[in-house]
Amino acid sequence: MKDQLRNVFLTVGLGTLIFVPMLIIDNGLNDSMKSVLIWLGASILYGMSFSILELKTIFRIPLHFAACFAITFAVRIGYAYFTNGEVHLKKLFIVTLPVFIIVYVLLYFYIKNFGSIGSGNSKEEET
């Protein structure tokens, strides 16, 4: 079951890299596709942030959380500015924070149970 879920998420990610350019070629770079590209770029940064989880410190999860939130909030600020010409930081923060926390916690438990995040304390992980 773990391998099947991991494969589903892997193929969704890889499929995105295939179908996004196809949609741009077919339908052009409209506002929806710009949004998809922005979040695809953010997803690449999220993937790079996983190197934080390889650190041998008790602060690796809070550091990863902070890095991912910074990415999310920066993208939201940029997106709001480019689409509306203005940014309401307080409103953006109030909307972004609870959604981010819920999604982060759900993904954390998914990856903890089916992925590759360990507790950092077991002897098996060190070998």
Full pLDDT tens readout for the chain, 127 residues? 667 777 787 788 788 888 888 888 887 888 788 888 888 889 889 889 988 988 999 999 999 999 999 999 999 998 888 888 899 999 999 999 999 999 999 988 887 887 665 555 544 444 3
* Position 127 in a domain: no
* Position 70 in a domain: yes
Structure tokens at 34: 């710009």
* Position 6 in a domain: yes
Whole-Å CA distances, 94 to 35, 38, 101, 106, 116: 21, 21, 12, 19, 31
| Structure confidence at residue 120 (pLDDT) | 52
Domain count, the chain: 1
pTM beyond 0.75, yes or no: no
| Structure confidence at residue 1 (pLDDT) | 67
Cβ 71 vs Cβ 45: under 8 Å: yes
